[in-house]
Amino acid sequence: MLMTTTSTLQGKEVAEYISVVSSEVILGANVVRDFLAGITDIIGGRSGAYENKLSEGREMALRELEQRARKMGADAVIGIDLDFETLRDGMMMVIATGTAVKLK
- Domain assignment present for residue 45? The answer is no
Assigned domain for 96 exists: yes
CATH (domain of 76): 3.30.110.70
Domain assignment of residue 37, yes or no: no
Is the residue at 76 inside a domain?
A: yes
Question: How many domains, in total, are found in the chain?
Answer: 1
pLDDT digits (tens, 9 = 90+) for 3-55: 999 999 999 999 999 999 999 999 876 544 554 555 555 555 666 667 777 88
Tell me the pTM: 0.80
Residue ranges of E strands in the chain: 2-3, 14-28, 76-86, 91-103
Q: CB count, 10 Å around CB of 80? A: 19
Distances (CA, A) of 102 to 6, 53, 67: 15, 32, 15
- Quote the domain boundaries for residue 99: 2-28+59-103
